[in-house]
């Protein structure tokens, strides 16, 4: 999406006249499918079949990526030379083995982002092609991104071969921006335009997720886990500062599920919050991968929480075992966690307050120590936050591709 297409902070409820109309699903359209997830340091992973005959690949589920990214054996422009840039143990998808693979470069030219949040200061280059993609009971020929790696990516094998992007699709966005699920829904293959997420973060919860760490549902919501059948819906907004403070891409990307923060509390004390700029407001970005770990706070509110919990500076060889933010880390007394304050949020549009208890934001490290799991971006009282797996403990996350709304519900285990 190009930002110039929208007034800043304009709610994107309708998207277009056509999107505002309820689509009549075909009689054979699919009902909800619950994709089982495995937690990984990168985010949540699953399995997916691509191509014909299908090649099963591990995929990373990403609410903040456009289209669907597939790691191919193309290195430095050579179509089938994986040894030139990939780790020898890296799993990749081979388009040459798929009879359904069709080049789409005449419609959608190759694209490069530098910097990016896949490889940071190495170029992320993709070619566009159409190929078979399966999500649960639905298989379609969809436009997807296929990598052309132009740097040495052989240091280690990534635990996934694809990125199943689930970013919102805005007015004017062509198929190169659209997730495979969105393309399937637009083609009438799903009855419902929503996706939803449940995080089974404790062993006792895993039966709800079929024994897995979480569920990413396509085409609906697990009604049985929505407490009192009540979902709170929030309008989706565009925040320009997201591309400098939360995720940095060039050319810039703004296709995020996001809504304005209204209020932030630590315990019963309202914390001051300010927009990150006059043009951007107080952005709440929904992202359940590694950049969504940690409850989001302003730097000043983080200092407040550290003082209230008697936090001590913590130096770790790998701080990403907590989260991958740039803020300082603090250890706390594991025996005092029950006495720590709650952290609560209210988003614009409803008076509903969403609370995270201390057990949500205190992380137990492999060595048995406890640490605050907080992500603090911007400066002072300025707020921009990524709301992901930490925030969504004991909550259901829902996104509606037709109305462009984010839904949140309390969970009923």
Q: Please list the active-site residues.
A: 62, 287
User: For residue 130, what are the β-bridge partners?
Assistant: 102, 143
Residue 5, CA atoms < 13 Å, CB-side half-sphere: 15
Give the Cα separation of 66 and 46 in Å (integer): 18
The C-alpha R_g of the chain, in whole angstroms, comes to 21
3-state DSSP assignment of residue 68? strand
Give the Cα separation of 223 and 290 in Å (integer): 27
Question: What are the b/e assignments for 256-292, b being 16+ CB within 10 Å?
Answer: bbbbbbbebbbeeeebebebbbeebbbbbbbbbbbbb
Give the Cα separation of 302 and 353 in Å (integer): 19
For 82-178, strand residue ranges (E) read 102-103, 111-113, 124-135, 138-147, 162-165
The two tokens of residue 256 are: 């995020």
User: For residue 60, what are the β-bridge partners?
Assistant: 45, 163
Torsion, Cα of 326, 281, 65, 363 (10° steps): 40
Question: Which backbone phi and psi does 300 adopt, to 5 degrees?
Answer: -70, -40
Strand order in the sheet with 312-314: 312-314, 329-332, 370-372, 362-364
Give the Cα separation of 231 and 227 in Å (integer): 9
């Amino acid at each position: 999406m190009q930002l110039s297409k929208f007034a800043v902070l304009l709610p994107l409820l309708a998207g277009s006249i056509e999107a505002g109309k309820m689509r009549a699903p075909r009689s054979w359209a699919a009902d909800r499918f619950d994709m089982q997830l495995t937690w990984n340091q990168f985010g949540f992973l699953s399995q997916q079949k691509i191509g014909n005959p299908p090649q099963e690949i591990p995929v990373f589920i990403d609410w903040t990526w456009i289209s669907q990214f597939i790691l191919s054996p193309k290195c430095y422009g050579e179509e089938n030379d994986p040894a030139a840039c990939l780790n020898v143990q890296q799993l990749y998808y081979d388009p040459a083995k798929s009879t359904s693979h069709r080049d789409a470069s005449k419609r959608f030219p190759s694209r490069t982002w530098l910097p990016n949040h896949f490889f940071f200061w190495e170029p992320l280059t993709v070619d566009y092609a159409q190929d078979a993609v399966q999500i649960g009971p639905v298989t379609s020929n969809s436009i997807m991104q296929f990598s052309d790696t132009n740097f040495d990516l052989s240091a280690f094998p990534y635990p996934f071969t694809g990125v199943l992007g689930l970013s919102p699709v805005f007015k004017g966005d062509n198929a190169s921006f659209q997730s495979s699920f969105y393309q399937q829904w637009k083609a009438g293959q799903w009855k419902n335009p929503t996706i939803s997420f449940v995080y089974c973060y404790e062993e006792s919860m895993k039966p709800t997720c079929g024994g897995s760490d979480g569920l990413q549902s396509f085409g609906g919501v697990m009604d049985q886990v929505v407490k009192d059948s009540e979902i709170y819906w929030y309008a989706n907004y565009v925040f320009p500062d997201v591309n400098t403070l939360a995720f940095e891409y060039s050319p810039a990307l703004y296709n995020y599920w996001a809504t304005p923060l209204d209020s932030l509390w630590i315990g019963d004390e309202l914390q001051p919050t300010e927009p990150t700029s006059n043009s951007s407001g107080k952005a709440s970005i929904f992202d359940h991968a590694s950049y969504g770990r940690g409850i989001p706070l302003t730097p000043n509110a983080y200092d407040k929480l550290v003082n209230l919990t008697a936090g001590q500076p913590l130096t770790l060889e790998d701080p990403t075992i907590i989260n991958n933010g740039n803020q300082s880390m603090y250890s706390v007394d594991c025996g005092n966690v029950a006495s720590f304050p709650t952290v609560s949020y209210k988003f614009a549009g409803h008076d509903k307050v969403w609370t995270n208890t201390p057990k949500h934001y205190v992380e137990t490290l492999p060595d048995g120590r406890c640490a605050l799991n907080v992500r603090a971006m911007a400066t002072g009282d300025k707020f921009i936050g990524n709301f992901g797996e930490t925030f969504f403990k004991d909550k259901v996350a829902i996104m509606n591709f037709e109305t462009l709304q984010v839904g949140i519900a309390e969970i009923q285990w």
